[in-house]
Amino acid sequence: PVAVAGPVAAPVAVAAPAAGAKAPKATTLERVVALGRSDNRVQQHLWHLSNEIGPRLTASHQLQESCEWAREVFASFGLSSRLERWGEFPVGFDRGPWKGRMTRPEEMELVFTTPAWTPGTNGALSAAAVLYPSSEEELEAARPRLAGAWIVQPRWGRGERPAAELRGTIDAAIAEAGPAGTIRSSGSELVHTSGNYQVEWDPASGAVTSVRRRDDQERREPVGVTVVLRDGQHAKIVEHLKAGAEVELELSIDNRFFEGPVPLYNVIADLVGTEKPDEYVYVGGHIDSWDGAQGTVDNGTGVATAIEAARLLVLAGAKPKRTIRFALWTGEEQGLLGSRAYVEAHPELWPKISAVLIHDGGTNYLSGLNVTPQMQPAMEAICAPLIGLNPELPFELRVLEEGRGLPGGGSDHQPFIAKGVPGFFWNQSGRSDYSHHHHTQHDNFDAAIPEYQEHSAIVVALTALQLADQPELLDRTNVSAPSGRGGPRRRLGVQFEDATITELIEGGKAAEAGWKVGDVLLSIDGAEVADQREVFTELRRGESKKLFKLKRGEELIESTIDFGEEGGERAAPREGSTERPPARD
């Protein structure tokens, strides 16, 4: 890491002016810092977003409410603000309250979620639990009890998962019987929320069908009630069932679909430049969230710092030379949909954007940026006011190796990088455990750290203004990753923390190969991996058939996965280090 040296922008002690002399006028940067320390409202923005509006699933009424609120907040600062439509979803989805308990053979309140775009229970639904059969004999024995039951899927160990043909027979029998729903383990004590937005809904019947597209083929399947239960509680239920006990579960899930198509928007607000209004610095994050909690850490925190940065700049009287454009993206959680669509719709803007700053790493304070050697001199000058801003919350630039592009990853800077525009994902440091809140039941307002949020809002404001006032646009040499990264990704269907699996997507490559939550990935094709960056690097290297070595407890496991044509031979990516929070691949 290369630390930046430079002048301190924070107010410093100076000798008192001589009698009758005028005190030196504070610079705009100094006014931003002073306001950010004395009148910082970032937590007020975050409170409203998290508590007054709540979670903001793409194509929910709450997302639309949040976009309209943000537009009006920007407008109240005097900015030119608007909603810009980028697309639509076929069906809308709102999540209401949910609760559940085991009533027999013991009382236990249940901690769970359901995937978005899956139906609810239409009130409290009490029914017997039946363990998913693992053989034809078990299926025949269970048939009389399947109708109206909660089907509990076990966590299969290596070699325990029934063959695909048998699973097809079992699933068909369960579907024909008409169960109450399916219950599966979260894989840990964290309960992660996800979901497939590609659904079709018949308002007359209330039936919902998922639409999955792969290799130009469509597969349609009915969508039923699906419960993702905290692992320890799931294990307790399975234990009772295997012991022959009668288990009864009572669940109330208020999930509601509404007729689409549902129009979707990004929020755009401009602090117009005084000299080069048609050149831009973009600042923001994504305002959508998953809806298993309040969506605070992912990504209310980034939205709040962007909004407060705008307020501080306006109050400080900032007159940037270039336009500072505040952009709050939607559809990020479903694949960067809003930012990708925006970038594709505006090719005329690509050569005019100096930089894109994305805060999407939670509540830890903004501690640095990764830069190319070519842009290092300019970025040192730009970030100089951040050095010493708060010695307890240090800031540094990390200069990437020559020839390596800016790190991409799973946030809204990536579509810009792909077009050669400098896109930055803030490095973050601090005491918050991002993985504890990311997409889990704990992503609530009390997870935000006020002093970090306040500091980060100041950092965003100062950096945006400094970028906007530079004589030239940032150097773009080697901004984009090498061409080897442009092809289709090799997706495991895994959530990583370092190299430990914290979540598996049902039907993904890893799940089909028998991987389990808690497995530690040791190597790929003989190359050792210790964190997610190394996992992704090796995953994309070389041929499509790859050998994985994992550790499960004390057991060492070898697993071969062939990505086939979807992940043919390609060059290894050349990417720099970043403190990106756990990402899915």
Using H for helix, E for strand and C for coil, what is the string for 110-153? CCEECCECCCCCCCEEEEEEEECCCCHHHHHHHHHHHCCCEEEC
Residue 330: predicted pLDDT = 98
Residue 257, phi-psi category: left (phi > 0), alpha (psi -120 to 50), beta (remainder): beta
* CA neighbor of 440 nearest in space, from 295, 315, 550: 295
User: Can you count the helices (H) and strands (E) in the chain?
Assistant: 14, 24
Reported as type and span, the H/E element at residue 343 is helix 337-345
pLDDT by 10s per residue, the chain, length 585: 333 333 223 332 333 344 455 556 789 999 999 999 999 999 999 999 999 999 999 999 999 999 999 999 999 999 999 999 999 999 999 999 999 999 999 999 999 999 999 999 999 999 999 999 999 999 999 999 999 999 999 988 777 888 889 999 999 999 999 999 999 999 899 999 999 998 998 878 778 888 876 556 677 888 999 999 999 999 999 999 999 999 999 999 999 999 999 999 999 999 999 999 999 999 999 999 999 999 999 999 999 999 999 999 999 999 999 999 999 999 999 999 999 999 999 999 999 999 999 999 999 999 999 999 999 999 999 999 999 999 999 999 999 998 889 988 789 999 999 999 999 999 999 999 999 999 999 999 999 999 999 999 999 999 999 999 999 999 999 998 553 343 345 778 887 766 788 777 766 788 888 898 878 898 898 888 876 667 877 887 777 788 999 988 778 888 999 887 444 433 333 333 333 343 444
Integer CA distances (angstroms), 426 to 25, 232, 324, 364, 370, in order: 31, 35, 17, 10, 8
Report the alpha-carbon distance of residue 51 to residue 293 in Å, rounded.
Answer: 10
What is residue 272's DSSP assignment? -
Neighbour-count burial of 560, counting CB atoms closer than 10 A to its CB (0-12 exposed, 13-18 middle, 19+ buried): exposed
pTM: 0.82
The answer to whether the peptide bond before residue 261 is cis (omega within 30 degrees of 0) is yes
- Spatial distance between the Cα atoms of 428 and 131, rounded to a whole number of angstroms: 44
Q: Which pLDDT belongs to residue 545?
A: 85
DSSP label of 52 = I
Which regions of 372-454 does DSSP assign to beta strands (E)? 396-399, 423-425, 427-429
